[in-house]
């Protein structure tokens, strides 16, 4: 499997016939090949010519260069270095090319994202899901203790790093819109805009309210639901999904698949509570609740997903119209207005 270095979808066909950076030197590394391109930049495999160390170098696209986007890249580099955890993709250098394009030098990963894995197999079994969640929570807990909120947790930002004769090492990537608690972040959301990915955004994040560790736990709940059922709790366009996150009760995992332990069913539902205070108090608390369920696979090729429930066979998709709206003092039209305004400034990680 080729190295997958970037958390954004790649388009290898988009590579030019001759990339002028290939063969050149960036810092102490020589660019060996272009691996792919995402929405924010181009990723290269690089090598230190003296000691043979390999690295990935992400260079921002020229058309996107701005003080704001450079700050986003710098926020990511600072955030991961504040955390310093093996479950977080390491970034060990930051710089600017002569043409003013910023870049970061990061560890080279071999494997695939959780999003790619779910596209291949749709769902995971209970033991593997709990194990992956536990690894993600270990990294999240370290981030939260370091005062960093990810704000864009989703399968595309969870990387399954291949290891010989062992279960994969889980890496959390893309802290580009992370929020450093106790600081005023001038780049990410300080102007009142909403940042994140609509399918995984917590209600308070959509409303533009205070976003803390509980928002990451909400996203983890949505991700767990998808891992176990093969679909996200709410379907639709961005406006419909964001409205549902704010106003609608999510379905339970057990309504979509059979054989889900009640404690796991309850935990995923609690993670998706609308009010942050009703969610588990910390990543460590969630890990405790997962204890006894996690089963590390010898390989992610071997896990078997639980069978769908009778209800899920009859209703193949969970739509935003399935669950009844949550009663709130505000009118639904006010929520729709908040969602509409949020979309004007939404940032996609």
> Which residues make up each annotated binding site?
58
Cα dihedral 287/217/176/80 (nearest 10): -20
Contact 79, 178 (CB under 8 A): yes
3 Cβ partners below 8 Å, 6+ apart? 35, 45, 56, 108, 109, 110
Helix (H, G, I), strand (E, B) or coil at 338: helix
Coil, helix or strand at residue 94: strand
Give the C-alpha separation, 101 to 65, whole Å: 6
- In a 3-state reduction of DSSP, which class is residue 244? helix
Q: Which residues are annotated as a binding site for ATP?
A: 58
Cα 263-268-270 angle, rounded to 5 deg: 90
For residue 111, the Cα-to-chain-centroid distance in whole angstroms is: 16
Please report, for residues 60, 70, 76, 155, 300, the alpha-carbon distance to residue 188 in angstroms, rounded to integers and kept in the order given.
Answer: 18, 12, 11, 21, 35
Strand, coil or helix: what is 70? helix
Is 185 a catalytic site residue? no
Which H/E stretch holds residue 71? helix 67-83
DSSP H/E element including 92: strand 91-96
Cα Rg of the chain, angstroms = 20
Output DSSP code: residue 199.
Answer: G
CA distance 151 to 131: 22
Is there a contact between 242 and 198 (Cβ–Cβ < 8 Å)?
yes
Query: Which residue out of 152, 174, 199, 216 is catalytically annotated?
Result: 152
- Distances in Å between the alpha carbon of 42 and those of 7, 55, 65, 106? 11, 14, 13, 13
The Cα–Cα gap between 271 and 278 comes to: 8
Q: Which residues are catalytic?
A: 152
């Amino acid at each position: 499997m080729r190295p997958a270095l970037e958390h954004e979808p790649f388009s290898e066909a988009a590579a030019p016939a001759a990339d002028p950076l290939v063969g050149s030197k960036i810092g102490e590394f020589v660019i060996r090949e272009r691996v792919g391109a995402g929405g924010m930049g181009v990723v290269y495999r690089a090598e230190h010519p003296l000691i043979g160390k390999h690295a990935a170098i992400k260079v921002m696209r020229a058309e996107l260069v701005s003080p704001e986007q450079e700050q986003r890249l710098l926020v990511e580099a600072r955030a991961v270095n504040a955390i310093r955890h093996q479950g977080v993709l390491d970034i060990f250098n930051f710089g600017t090319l002569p043409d003013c394009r910023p870049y970061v030098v990061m560890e080279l990963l071999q494997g695939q994202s959780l999003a790619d894995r779910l596209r291949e197999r749709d769902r995971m079994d209970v033991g593997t899901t709990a194990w992956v969640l536990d690894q993600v929570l270990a990294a999240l807990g370290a981030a939260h203790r370091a005062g960093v909120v990810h704000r864009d947790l989703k399968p595309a930002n969870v990387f399954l790093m291949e290891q010989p004769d062992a279960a994969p090492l889980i890496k959390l990537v893309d802290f580009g819109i992370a929020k450093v608690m106790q600081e005023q972040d001038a780049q990410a959301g300080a102007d009142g805009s909403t940042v994140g990915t609509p399918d995984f955004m917590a209600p308070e994040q959509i409303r533009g309210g205070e976003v803390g560790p509980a928002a990451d736990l909400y996203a983890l709940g949505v991700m767990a639901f998808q891992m176990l059922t093969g679909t996200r709790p709410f379907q639709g366009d961005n406006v419909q999904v964001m409205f549902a996150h704010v106003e609608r009760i999510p379905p339970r995992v057990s309504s979509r698949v059979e054989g889900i332990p009640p404690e796991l069913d309850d935990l995923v539902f609690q993670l998706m509570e609308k009010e942050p205070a009703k969610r588990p108090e910390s990543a460590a608390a969630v890990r405790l609740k997962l204890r006894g369920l996690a089963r590390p696979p010898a390989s992610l090729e071997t896990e078997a997903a639980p069978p769908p429930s009778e209800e899920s066979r009859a209703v193949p998709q969970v739509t935003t119209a399935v669950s009844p709206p949550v009663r709130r003092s505000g009118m639904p039209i006010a929520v729709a207005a908040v969602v509409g305004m949020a979309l004007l400034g939404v940032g996609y990680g």
